[in-house]
Structure 1
Amino acid sequence: MKKYEADNLTGINHEGAKQNTPLKFLTATSVMANSVVNLKGEELGDVKDVMLDVNRGRIEYLVMSAGGFLGIGEKLFAIPYTMVYVHPNEHAFIFDYDEKLIKDAPGFDKDHWPNTNSHDMEPSRQYWSGFMGPNAGYDPSSR
């Protein structure tokens, strides 16, 4: 994995081993192709895109690819952004669920994206809402 501190020049701490930390902002292009891993360090997939809620002005979903080989047979998943957090030092998002949960999730292929309205995103929202409690976002400071 690439290190954020090696290429993210937006931080306020520009010197030393922990330069540019704590991470506060990322560009959209720096998010693409980041790994998605669980807390065991197992790679679950890669970020292919983000989906913004244009009414609220925030990221609603990470689009993650998983499975397949060299892009053939891969499946895309819309993962609610509140279920992941950015690893503070690596180019990775932490999604602390196992691979089976992802394989069972509703997904889509790269040539057949759902329409980007609330109705077509409903299967993904319903699937993931079963795993999201009232405080669905993960707080890394709680560990």
Structure 2
Amino acid sequence: MKPRTLSATSLTGTKVQNLQGENIGDIQDLMIDLETGQVLYVVLSFGGFMGMGDDYFAIPLEALVFSEKEEELVKIDIDKEALKNAPGFDKDNWPLTDEYVHSVYDYYGYERKTLSSRV
């Protein structure tokens, strides 16, 4: 049975592989919409060496495949070349616009689920 809930800290640092078994990177963080409580995207670090020179990429949570058997591993259906062309950002300049979030969902072929705002 797949996990239904995970803490943000349990995801941070988790290794990510593509379906071919290649290491893609590590989960660095989760971006959360404070109005709705929705996870907007997962921040993946890719490239570099020992945290230096890493590129950061936003990935919709829906694009990740979680396994009950391999808790320390998350998979995604993307090859390294496609990831290099994905919407990315500098770790010192995180994008905060709605347009960026929509571009992430468009790139991976997901429709962003919108929840009504809490009042």
Largest Rg, 1 or 2: 1
Task: Count the aligned residue pairs.
Answer: 110
RMSD between aligned alpha carbons?
2.0
3-state secondary structure, aligned to 2:88: coil
| Residue 96 (str. 1) matches residue 77 (str. 2) | yes
Residues 25 and 111 (structure 1), Cα distance of their counterparts in 2 relative to 1, 3 Å cut: same
| Residue 124 (str. 1) matches residue 104 (str. 2) | yes
Residues 106 and 24 (structure 1), Cα distance of their counterparts in 2 relative to 1, 3 Å cut: closer
Q: Gaps (5+ residues) in structure 2? A: 112-119
3-state secondary structure, aligned to 1:94: strand
> How high is the TM-score relative to the length of structure 1?
0.67
| Residue 107 (str. 1) matches residue 88 (str. 2) | yes
Residues 103 and 89 (structure 1), Cα distance of their counterparts in 2 relative to 1, 3 Å cut: same
> How high is the TM-score relative to the length of structure 2?
0.79
Which residue does the alignment assign to 1:36? 16
Q: Deviations over 1:49-96 (max 9, x none)?
A: 011233443322110000011222110000011111212222121101
Which residue does the alignment assign to 1:25? 5
Q: Gaps (5+ residues) in structure 1? A: 1-20, 134-143
| Residue 53 (str. 1) matches residue 57 (str. 2) | no
Give the share of equivalent positions with the same residue, in percent: 37
The structure that is strand-richer by fraction is: 2
Q: Aligned match of 2:48 in 68, 92, 99? A: 68
Alignment check: 8 A CA contact 2:56 2:88 kept: yes
Q: Deviations over 1:13-57 (max 9, x none)?
A: xxxxxxxx6533211111100011122221101000011233443
Name which structure has the greater RCO, CA cutoff 8 Å, separation 6+.
Answer: 2
